[in-house]
Structure 1
Amino acid sequence: MAQIHPTAIVDAAAQLHESVSVGPYSIIGPHVVVGAGSTIGPHCVIEGHTTIGRDNRIFQFCSLGAVPQDKKYAGEPTELRIGDGNTIREFCTFNLGVVGAGGLTQVGHRNWVMAYVHVAHDCRIGDDNVIANAVQFAGHVEVGNATLIGGITGVHQFVRIGDFAMVGFQTRLSQDLPPFMVAAGNPAEAQSAHLEGPRRRGYSPERLAQLKQMHRILYRKGLTLDAARVELLALRGTVDGGDADLDMMLTFLDQAQRGIVR
């Protein structure tokens, strides 16, 4: 049996792996599934159709799987899915999805989510992200992998943040932030290429230099976005491994609906 504190209330229909622990006064609803090795601290509420993977550490006072803050929601069985190996600190709120928007809020693997973070309905958050205190994601936000998002940042609905992007402290992000780019301010402005994350992942000096060149093309040469795409394409085949970064950037730009941070 899972290790459940006597004061916790766990619905008999909830599916908790035998290695899960649940702290005092937490409440877990009937449609919740929690995988092996996950720990749930005291005073947490986990409800709705919520699936939590393996080896997650959920700290006290979190609310996961509550109904979305959307007037269109009418009680449908939408979902929240959380992957493996995440750290979710105090007072985080992750909501269910809304039917008309896909009905799924999703958080990937190995994310480090600090206190007071809000993940609204139908957000998609990838893997290996560091999300600092009091970051607020509006509905439908998409976050890639290995991003760094500074504290007290607000992200507008439908905004996308690309892989390896970095958002500075107290930023208002209302347009898409391309991969490998750093943005900060209110409103956000692009500042530089983000090199430290890729460097830690083993990117070569030549590949890091190409990331800097990508930033110059997008933000320092005064080009239109169409002209910048042409110059980015011209970099193909010049750096070992660099074409993958170019493809990621070009795909992201092609899919931009709200425009990009400039």
Structure 2
Amino acid sequence: MSTQIHPSAVVDPSAQLGKNVTVGPYAIIEADTVIGDGTTIDAFAQIKQYTTMGAENHIHSHALIGGDPQDIKFGGEKTTLVLGDRNIIREFTTIHRGTPEGRGETNIGSECMIMAYAHVAHDCHLSDNVILTNCVMLAGHVDLGVHAVVGGMCGVHQFCRIGDYAFIAGMTGVPNDVPPFCMAAGTRGSLRGLNSIGLRRSGMTSETIRAIKHAYMTIFRSGYTRSEALEVMKGEENKIKEVEYFLDFISNSERGCLNDVSKNSKHVD
């Protein structure tokens, strides 16, 4: 199948379209863009300047990809948006380019699903297999780890980090970092334990999940201060890479991590 461009679509002559690309009615693809092989751009979608995407992405109707950042300091500088392969971007989603003061680039990994009306602001980084449910709002400079899931109508504060396999329930406000493997929920979000279902589905061994749970209970439910709990965990022999990642994430958090809803518990596994 060759590239198909609907007669009503507007495609700048300088845009680089790969093989087997489909561009629907009234779609707009601006200059200085790269569209990978097998990608589908549905009716009325807009691909703005300085956007590059890999193969087999599907941009649904009325999505706006690569728009100017909503930053009052932005003066039209050349910054970029880069998407990987096989992403699904649903209707009315907006994804904005980076800023000169930030990374200069917004980056979306591969095999992500960003559902309708979601917003990904400037300088965000989404790793592979991320899911943003309907109406999720990511402020600028937010990082999401692999297989992170953010529920509908969540708002994430700028510069927050959300770790690998984290799960955030719908309508949660996220003002601080969410450690990997954890669940968060609540109007003003708090941790609610591990994302046990997600960890089992990932193929993680029972031994690894138990080790992560022990680390979680020590850090968040032992009654220790955060720094005391980290020292306790550092004193234990541990060679499980997932636990090391979990502890490093918390140790290196600049915004601080969400608290556990049962943070006053004295229980430690």
Question: Given the two structures, how large is their TM-score scaled by the length of structure 1?
Answer: 0.95
Aligned letter for 2:83? I
Q: What is the alpha-carbon distance in structure 2 between the residues aligned to residue 73 and residue 43 of structure 1?
A: 26
Could you report, residue by residue, the CA deviation over 1:160-190 in whole angstroms, capped at 9, with x for unpaired residues?
Answer: 0011111011000000011111110111011
Aligned letter for 1:34? I
Q: How does 1:103-122 map to 2 (within 5 A)?
A: 103-122=104-123
Aligned letter for 1:33? V
Q: CA offset at residue 234 of structure 1?
A: 4.2
Q: CA offset at residue 228 of structure 1?
A: 1.6
Q: 2:59 touches 2:88 (CA, 8 Å); kept in 1?
A: yes
Q: What is the alpha-carbon distance in structure 2 between the residues aligned to residue 208 and residue 243 of structure 1?
A: 10
Q: 1:233 touches 1:246 (CA, 8 Å); kept in 2?
A: no
Overall identity of the aligned pairs, in %: 39
1:4 match = 5
2:247 match = 250
Q: Alignment partner of 1:100: what SS? A: coil
2:168 match = 167
Q: What is the alpha-carbon distance in structure 2 between the residues aligned to residue 92 and residue 243 of structure 1?
A: 38
1:147 match = 148
Aligned letter for 1:49? Y
Could you report, residue by residue, the CA deviation over 1:92-149 in whole angstroms, capped at 9, with x for unpaired residues?
Answer: 0000111011210000011111111100000011011111100000000011111111
Q: What is the alpha-carbon distance in structure 2 between the residues aligned to residue 211 and residue 151 of structure 1?
A: 27
Q: What is the alpha-carbon distance in structure 2 between the residues aligned to residue 100 and residue 114 of structure 1?
A: 28
Q: How does 1:21-40 map to 2 (within 5 A)?
A: 21-40=22-41
Aligned letter for 1:206? E
Q: CA offset at residue 235 of structure 1?
A: 4.6
**Cα gap change, 1:163 to 1:77, in 2 (>3 Å):** same
Q: What is the alpha-carbon distance in structure 2 between the residues aligned to residue 236 and residue 121 of structure 1?
A: 40
2:82 match = 81
Does residue 208 of structure 2 align to residue 207 of structure 1?
yes
Aligned letter for 1:248? Y
Q: What is the alpha-carbon distance in structure 2 between the residues aligned to residue 62 and residue 17 of structure 1?
A: 20
Q: What is the alpha-carbon distance in structure 2 between the residues aligned to residue 42 and residue 255 of structure 1?
A: 44
2:64 match = 63
2:17 match = 16
Greater than 3 Å deviation, 4+ residue runs? 234-237
Give the aligned length: 258
Question: Given the two structures, how large is their TM-score scaled by the length of structure 2?
Answer: 0.93
Aligned letter for 1:86? N
Aligned letter for 2:248? T
**Cα gap change, 1:40 to 1:235, in 2 (>3 Å):** farther
**Which runs of 5 or more residues in structure 2 are unaligned?**
260-269
Q: 1:11 touches 1:28 (CA, 8 Å); kept in 2?
A: yes
Could you report, residue by residue, the CA deviation over 1:217-253 in whole angstroms, capped at 9, with x for unpaired residues?
Answer: 122112111112123334534xxxx611122112212
2:257 match = 260
Q: CA offset at residue 77 of structure 1?
A: 0.7
Aligned letter for 1:150? G
Aligned letter for 2:121? A
Aligned letter for 2:6? H
Q: What is the alpha-carbon distance in structure 2 between the residues aligned to residue 38 and residue 198 of structure 1?
A: 31
